[in-house]
A and B are shown apart, each in its own frame.
Chain A
């Protein structure tokens, strides 16, 4: 029972995040009441309704610690729990490493946060008297017990998603939640590694926390819970679990945990910021950029490319070659771990790939230059690349694109592209009278940024979601889209949803204008979105009601905090809508593809810095034009 109490004490802190609060209530009456009231305004009806059902099931679970595990869920749960314990071990160790890494990088606030968060995890884990496996089991037990108690008491506020299987789902969820919340707590209170002591203290701590918990929800639609839900990276834990599972060679388990989808098994699973696995000698600037990209703080092909190049520039600036090599030769080997680190953070963008290829090409061409000359040369080349291929290119694209915007136009655009945004702003600045329809979609809602930028300068805007595309397309006379990449067969590889927009425009014979710098052209050929794509964090799809009110900028902001908590997935689920228990549901998988492929016949024209070209001319540009640039 002792362990239970501990876990109970633990739970309340965590619940900052979400609905779990009810369970603590069982052990602590005062807490019970408060969460309910808090929920009444803050939490969704969903939860309450959902909660009512699962309880009976839970109640069947006996209090003795391990019994419940033998229920029909046992397989799933047992497996996942054990895996999680491993995960947590791995997490604690990796977190320690991560902390060290991050700690070395004082400039990087994010890194610091990560480091803070991860020790928390490890502490929490170790706080359970070191016996992690048993500790976990106890936890899950305790939670199930709580669930049963709740059911008996008829309190509202059990985990929302549990549904029929609630009992099974619960155990794991609380444990994860507890981790998360603990982390969050720590962040907020800025108490660090000493948490273990507090945990052992048990109830008193929980009481305080419960009080705080109460305070937060009662603030009405307090942004914090929703933000944390939206931004946290629950997958972190899953990933670690995967790593653990892999290490033990249990691939079956892996599949179950990742909820991998057969058709997309060849794609990398979603990645999460993790400095733990990174080699030690990475340049902090690159580490920084990698983390930011993993958390989607840096997002968009141009932004990622510029950030990467600038980080490499710093790395080159600070690089001193080992003895007996020139800087260029040393650099060749030096960059590779950086690049592979970036790939571990998030799959490489085509733009980054091209830029890095350019850089390597330059290095390879100047192997025998004196060190300082080479350093200056490479830095200058990077600056020139950013200037010529991105900054100036965008300006030229903007001026060329202006030719195609006339008075009275109704322009539709999807999500947000930096080039499209500057084009529309320039058109407005030029005095052209036009209207913009911003089409947006879950889960990232990138269009809101564009909408804000346009609305701020007074462009008449309409904002709709992708579902309304058929309706709004009728009044549109031009569609302007951004691009992640243009492939050699003329296909457009861009944010998921672009293909639908282009297709419906094509259907109505509305010209589709794509703005794309030539450095994003790829010599790849792709016929569908399956061969190559990027899988995003599936949990982004889950928290419907929360995501709908957050927009990406605040989400990004929050993701700093959210990502730190490595165990948020379950707790997050508890705050979400009907999908929140998806990880526990045997047959439910979520797929969050980030890109899709628009066939070339849906694209009327591509605006590039070399002029307006049909998208089938991509290989011509690659063949004829780019060599010219590289020579000059």
Chain B
């Protein structure tokens, strides 16, 4: 078993050491490491240890969707190959080799997607993106390298401030970029030619799980008849089928719960460390400076209720025009085709 090897620690190390690594790939890499360290002698023990490790990985982070996509993919890969095992040790070796080659190829995925997506960005167009996504940034950089002239609106994404990161990267690549408030999506949509978002996970019906705010962008885009494209690597396809926002694994009874009145929240906030500084519902109304003051003005109740804000939302497939993946440019129903092929 893996007593002496801590998957979760390894996974976090991997993410820390290389910020470009995405969660599912890091998870797979961590699991490959686990196999390397595994001292399991029987098949069932081995499978058990992998399942256990992936379970621990999933429960180690608050938002496990893209992580579980990686874990499930690897598990599927392991079980699918477990039928015709002649020699246990050589099988383990092949698993390690395959896993590593997968990790290496994962990076190439993004480049392939970028190549596929570039033709969709027209010269002189205006693109609206949401928060920060590595693959979206790469796609835009590629387009810029291909001498496409376009401008970008990026939402601030107040919870993680990802938009600010994106804006820095894009400006560095010479792309004119403006940060807008999350609440200003409707305001700018008429000036926009297309909406481009990344994904934490792509679910079975071709819907999207992504950083909070994607769904409302999709709705606004649909209402304005603007194309809404999602960009996702195929290892983010996940076997989930959410019926609506409240059917996600990240949803729990506390999400957006109403605070009880007349309770001292100071204590609760302290023990609950999940509140990100600067993540505010109120800050949408203000610039960074304002949001600082707003933060000071907020009562402890406000901050407590922020802790119950969701991190991701679900965009149903009927709002998505196309998905750019390394398997090609797919319609949402094409995603379910691929998933069925993969998992059945």
A interface, CB within 8 angstroms of B: 404, 478, 509, 511, 513, 601, 604-605, 610-614, 616-617, 620-621, 624-625, 628
Contact = CB atoms under 8 A, between A and B. Distances in A.
Given A404-B243, A513-B243, A614 B206 contact: yes
B205 A605 contact: yes
Nearest to B344: A625
26 contacts: A404-B243, A509-B244, A511-B244, A605-B241, A605-B243, A611-B204, A611-B239, A611-B241, A611-B340, A611-B343, A612-B204, A612-B241, A613-B205, A613-B241, A613-B340, A614-B204, A614-B205, A614-B241, A614-B317, A614-B333, A616-B333, A616-B336, A617-B333, A620-B337, A624-B341, A624-B344
B138 to A, nearest CB: 29
A76 B62 CA distance: 78
Contact of B340 (A511, A513, A601, A621): A621
Contacts of A612: 204, 241
B145 interface: no
Contacts of B336: 613-614, 616-617, 620
Q: Which among A511, A611, A625, A628 has the highest number of chain B CB atoms within 10 Å?
A: A611
A614 B344 CA distance: 15
A601 B205 contact: no
B268 to A, nearest CB: 24
B247 interface: yes
B314 to A, nearest CB: 12
A610 B344 contact: yes
Nearest to B243: A511
Q: Which among A511, A613, A624 has the highest number of chain B CB atoms within 10 Å?
A: A613
A614 B247 CA distance: 16
Contact of B204 (A509, A511, A613, A625): A613
B140 to A, nearest CB: 30
Contacts of B205: 605, 613-614
A625 B340 contact: yes
A513 to B, nearest CB: 7
Q: Which among A478, A513, A610, A620 has the highest number of chain B CB atoms within 10 Å?
A: A620
Nearest to A605: B241
A624 B340 contact: yes
B293 interface: no
A513 B241 CA distance: 11
B94 interface: no
B318 A601 contact: yes
B20 to A, nearest CB: 33
Nearest to A625: B344
Contacts of A601: 318
B168 to A, nearest CB: 38
10 interchain residue pairs of minimum CB distance: A511-B243, A612-B241, A614-B205, A616-B333, A617-B336, A620-B337, A620-B340, A614-B336, A625-B344, A605-B241
Contacts of A616: 333, 336
A621 B337 CA distance: 9
Interface string B224-253: 000000000000000101011001000000
Determine the main DSSP class of A at the interface with B: mixed
A612 B203 CA distance: 11
A527 B243 CA distance: 25
B340 A617 contact: yes
B303 to A, nearest CB: 28
Nearest to A407: B253
Given A605-B205, A621-B340, 11 more contacts: A513-B243, A611-B241, A612-B241, A614-B206, A614-B336, A616-B333, A617-B336, A617-B340, A620-B337, A624-B340, A628-B344
Q: Which among B206, B239, B317, B344 has the highest number of chain A CB atoms within 10 Å?
A: B344
A509 B244 CA distance: 9
Contacts of B239: 611
Contacts of B333: 614, 616-617
A601 B316 CA distance: 12
B243 A478 contact: yes
Contacts of A611: 204, 239, 241, 340, 343-344
Contacts of B337: 617, 620
Nearest to A607: B241
A486 B310 CA distance: 36
Contacts of A478: 243
Interface in B33-62: none
Contacts of B241: 605, 611-614
A420 to B, nearest CB: 16
Interface in B325-344: 333, 336-337, 340-341, 343-344
Nearest to B337: A620
Nearest to A612: B241
A614 B205 CA distance: 5
Contacts of A624: 340-341, 344
Contacts of B344: 610-611, 624-625, 628
A546 to B, nearest CB: 41
Nearest to B206: A614
A401 to B, nearest CB: 11
A575 to B, nearest CB: 46
Nearest to B331: A616
A624 B344 CA distance: 8
A99 B318 CA distance: 58
B243 A604 contact: yes
Contacts of B317: 614
Interface in B159-210: 204-206
B205 to A, nearest CB: 4
Contacts of A513: 243
Q: Which among B239, B241, B244, B317 has the highest number of chain A CB atoms within 10 Å?
A: B241
A11 B310 CA distance: 76
A625 B342 CA distance: 11
Nearest to A619: B337
B319 to A, nearest CB: 12
Contacts of A620: 336-337, 340-341
A478 B333 CA distance: 22
B247 A404 contact: yes
B241 to A, nearest CB: 4
A588 to B, nearest CB: 43
Contacts of A605: 205, 241, 243
